[in-house]
Every structure is written in structure tokens, then in C-alpha cells.
Structure 1
């Protein structure tokens, strides 16, 4: 059975691909196009590399891979936004509220 065969990862990175310039471009655009954005560093896991989650004032969020916590901190400094370690502070309530509003809207759209 092929179900249990292991695949080799081409990049050596968890999740199959390293961060790239398009990831940083997306993060920069998110910061430029929203108000009150804060960054949250998410540590590397067995599944993904280090990621940074950006959360706007209304709870809208996005997440992309970065090449380590130092890159995330440099990005936040460059963009002049606060950055936090999610393992220490957790996620803000406004993000959970945004996700709940989005779920309700999706359910209403479906009927």
C-alpha cells in the first residue's frame, strides 16, 4: 500500500517549501493596506517553518513563512509595527472574534 510511504521533502524545510520573497511582499502589502497591524511570531514546528501572523485592528489576519524569528523581528522593525512571541502572549481576542464573524457570514451565505 502506498499510503504509508514517506516522501522526501525537496527543500529540507518542514511543510515542503522555505519562505520566499513573495511571502514578504504579501506581508508588506497587508501592513500597508490595513490599520493597527501587529505581528506575532509563531515558532517552527514539525509541520511548518517559523511563521509570522499579522493581525489588523479589526482582527483580520494573514500568515506567511519567514526564515526564522530574527527575520520576523527585522520585518516588523522595518514596517514599524509591534511584534510579539505568540508562545508568550497568545493570540488577541479580536482575531478570534473576526474568525467567528467570518464563520457566521459563511453559514448565512450557505442558506
Structure 2
């Protein structure tokens, strides 16, 4: 009877941690021209912050919510953008292309 029935389980999505914030801090302090981009929560991931340096290098980590992202950026005097409104910057895509060619 229940041959094709799947048990639904509420998957647990990992929330932001101090390790996430520490990584973002260390990464941002070792690069220049860093900007923060907030990515909204989805069914799969919590809210994330994407930090992008002047050359397009980037890193992404979870953050509690939009307000936490805004506070993170404000404390570090970096601009904050919403990915849903502005998209990803061209320099990030160009950086990814350079990495693909390099790792070929």
C-alpha cells in the first residue's frame, strides 16, 4: 500500500554560527575593496552574505538575517547590496571564469 509513499521529514537547515562570522571577518580584513551582498533565505539555505573583493574573489557564509547582514557591513564600513535587487557584480563572474581557465 505505501510502496511509493515517501516519508516527509522537515530537514534541518544549519543556521549561522560564530565560525561563519569569524570567517567573514578574517576574509574581509585580508582583502581590499570588499562589498557585501545579501542573499535571501531559500528552502535549502538560510540567509547568506557574499563578500566580494575588488578583483572579484569572493566568499559566502550564513548569517542570521538581513538585519544581521546590515549590521555586519555597517560595523566594517562596507557597502551592502541585496542580490535580488542588483544581481551579482561582473567582476565576480570574471573572477570565476579566470579560475575555470586556470584550473582547466
Normalised by the size of structure 1, how large is the TM-score? 0.85
Aligned residue pairs: how many? Answer: 101
Q: Which runs of 5+ in 1 are unaligned?
A: 11-15
Judging by fraction of residues, say which structure has more helix: 1
Q: Flag structure 2 segments of 5+ consecutive residues without an equivalent.
A: none
Aligned to 1:37: 34
In the superposition, the TM-score normalised over structure 2's length comes to 0.90
Of residues 22, 38, 41, the one that matches 1:25 is: 22
CA distance in 2, matches of 1:46, 1:85: 18
Q: Secondary structure at the match of 1:84?
A: strand
Q: Confirm whether residue 102 of structure 1 aligns to residue 99 of structure 2.
A: yes
Measured on the aligned residues, the alpha-carbon RMSD in Å equals 1.6
1:1-111 pair list within 5 angstroms: 4-10=6-12, 16-107=13-104
